[in-house]
Structure 1
Amino acid sequence: MIKAVIFDFDGLIFDTETFEFESYQSIYKKYNVEFPLQRWYESIGTNFVFNPYEKLLSSHTYLDENEIKKERTTIFEDSIQEKSPREGVINYFEKAKELGLMVALASSSTKNWIYKFLEMLNLEKFFDLILTADDVSEVKPNPELYLRVLEHFEIQANEAVVFEDSPNGSLAAIRANIPCVVVPNATTQNLDFDHQVALRINSMAEIELSELLQKLSLKQI
Structure 2
Amino acid sequence: MGAMSTDQGPSLSAIVFDFDGLLMDTETTALLSWEYEWRQWGLTLDRSGFFADHGGSVAEERSAQLAAAVGAEFDRELSHRRRTRYREELHTRLDLRPGIGDWIEQAGARGLRLAVASSSETTWVIGHLERVGLLDRFTVIAGGEEVSGHKPDPSVYQLALRRLGIDAADAIAVEDTPHGVTAAHRAGLPCIAIPNPYVDPDRVGHAELVLGSATELDCGTALERACGQNP
Fold equivalence (TM over 0.5): yes
- % same residue: 28
Aligned CA distance change for structure 1 residues 44 and 144 (closer, same or farther; 3 Å): closer
Residue 59 of structure 1 corresponds to which residue in structure 2? 69
Residue 106 of structure 1 corresponds to which residue in structure 2? 117
> Displacement, 1:59?
1.7
**1:205 partner amino acid:** T
> Displacement, 1:29?
3.5
Which runs of structure 2 are paired with 1:1-221 in the superposition (5 Å)? 1-42=11-52, 45-48=55-58, 51-61=61-71, 62-188=73-199, 190=200, 193-218=203-228
**1:16 partner amino acid:** T
Paired residues, number: 219
Given that residues 176 and 193 in structure 2 are in contact (C-alpha distance below 8 angstroms), is that contact kept between their aligned partners in structure 1? Answer: yes
| Residues 10-37 of structure 1 deviation map (CA, whole Å, 9 limit, x = unaligned) | 1111111111111112222343444353
Q: Tell me the TM-score normalized by structure 2.
A: 0.86
Which SS does the other structure have where 2:172 is aligned?
strand
Q: In the aligned structure 1, how far is the partner of 2:60 from the partner of 2:202?
A: 20
Which SS does the other structure have where 2:198 is aligned?
coil
Q: Tell me the TM-score normalized by structure 1.
A: 0.89
Which SS does the other structure have where 2:173 is aligned?
strand
**1:2 partner amino acid:** L
Task: Using the TM superposition, name which of 80-89 and 16-25 deviates more.
Answer: 80-89
Q: In the aligned structure 2, how far is the partner of 1:35 from the partner of 1:44?
A: 21
Given that residues 195 and 204 in structure 2 are in contact (C-alpha distance below 8 angstroms), is that contact kept between their aligned partners in structure 1? Answer: no
> Displacement, 1:192?
5.5
Given that residues 54 and 151 in structure 2 are in contact (C-alpha distance below 8 angstroms), is that contact kept between their aligned partners in structure 1? Answer: no
Given that residues 36 and 55 in structure 1 are in contact (C-alpha distance below 8 angstroms), is that contact kept between their aligned partners in structure 2? Answer: no
Aligned CA distance change for structure 1 residues 219 and 54 (closer, same or farther; 3 Å): farther
Given that residues 151 and 180 in structure 2 are in contact (C-alpha distance below 8 angstroms), is that contact kept between their aligned partners in structure 1? Answer: yes
In the alignment, structure 2 segments of 5+ residues that lack a partner are 1-10
Which SS does the other structure have where 2:96 is aligned?
coil
In the alignment, structure 1 segments of 5+ residues that lack a partner are none
**2:216 partner amino acid:** E
Q: In the aligned structure 2, how far is the partner of 1:47 from the partner of 1:82?
A: 22
> Displacement, 1:155?
2.7
Q: In the aligned structure 1, how far is the partner of 2:202 from the partner of 2:32?
A: 21
Given that residues 129 and 135 in structure 2 are in contact (C-alpha distance below 8 angstroms), is that contact kept between their aligned partners in structure 1? Answer: yes
Q: In the aligned structure 2, how far is the partner of 1:198 from the partner of 1:133?
A: 24
Aligned CA distance change for structure 1 residues 169 and 79 (closer, same or farther; 3 Å): same
Q: In the aligned structure 2, how far is the partner of 1:2 from the partner of 1:92?
A: 15
> Displacement, 1:76?
1.0
Which SS does the other structure have where 1:41 is aligned?
coil
